[in-house]
């Protein structure tokens, strides 16, 4: 009996770590791409509406449909799941980065120019610090989405806590559904709370 429970504990931990790996990899990739892209769009505003529309269009594709579309290209497993979740993570981060940079007052920019700061210096020392709370808010929103949607990773064999959810639905076992759902919810709420603290910290600094 003890061996049975130990096996379940190991299996649960393995699925939890897989879920975290898939989610956080997609989120980190989203940050790496969306934040620099938001900075570029704030400098080349004529292209911003088009890029935002393209990224926004990706959000309209149902998550399960996007995962299915990934299978012929990338096969099954973690890779197509991470790519699909990465695409879903882009819009909130990109939109908030762009909006945050756009809300920086012109008086601050003019003062920085008067001090002889270059475009890069104004970005690093003025614009990014003052828009950081908005950027973190976008990352927070994206993180909650991605952690929740990572449940669908089980649909294409990527593993994670979604395995319990799908198994529970197939077997009509609510205990398995809850075994997957509750940790996913706790994980999403924990990340949301931690990033909210970071967001509030930057908001206070800005104020």
CATH number at residue 174: 1.10.3720.10
Of the pLDDT bands very low, low, confident and very high (cuts 50, 70, 90), residue 8 is low
Whether the full predicted model's pTM is greater than 0.85, yes or no, is yes
Contacts with 191 (C-beta within 8 Å, 6 or more apart), sequence order? 140, 143, 144, 147
Segments forming the whole domain that contains residue 158? 2-206
pLDDT per residue as tens digits for the range 126-137: 888 889 999 999
Residue 123 and residue 39 in contact, taking contact as beta carbons nearer than 8 Å: yes
Q: How far apart are the first and last CA of the chain?
A: 58
The answer to whether 122 and 113 have CB atoms below 8 angstroms apart is yes
Residue in 138, 133, 111 with CA at minimum distance from that of residue 122: 111
Kindly report, residue by residue over 73-117, the tens digit of the pLDDT: 888 888 989 999 999 899 899 999 998 888 887 787 878 777 878
Q: Cα(34)–Cα(91) distance, rounded to whole angstroms?
A: 8
Report the distance separating Cα 32 and Cα 94, nearest Å: 10
């Amino acid at each position: 009996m003890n061996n049975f429970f130990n096996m379940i504990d190991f299996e649960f931990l393995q699925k939890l770590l897989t879920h975290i790996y898939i989610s956080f990899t997609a989120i980190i990739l989203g940050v790496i791409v969306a934040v620099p892209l938001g900075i570029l769009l704030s400098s080349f505003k004529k292209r911003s509406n088009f890029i935002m529309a393209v990224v926004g269009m990706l959000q309209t594709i149902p998550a399960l449909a996007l995962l299915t579309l990934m299978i012929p290209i990338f096969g099954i497993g973690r890779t197509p799941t991470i790519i699909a979740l990465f695409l879903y993570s882009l819009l909130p981060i990109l939109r908030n980065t762009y909006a945050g940079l756009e809300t920086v007052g012109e008086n601050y920019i003019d003062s920085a120019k008067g001090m002889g700061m270059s475009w890069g210096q104004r970005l690093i020392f003025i614009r990014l610090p003052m828009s950081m709370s908005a950027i973190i808010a976008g990352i927070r929103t994206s993180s909650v989405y991605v952690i929740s949607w990572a449940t669908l990773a089980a649909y294409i064999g990527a593993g994670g806590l979604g395995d319990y959810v799908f198994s529970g639905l197939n077997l009509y076992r609510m205990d398995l559904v809850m075994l997957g759902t509750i940790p996913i919810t706790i994980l999403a709420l924990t990340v949301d709370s931690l990033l909210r603290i970071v967001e509030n910290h930057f908001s206070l600094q800005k104020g």
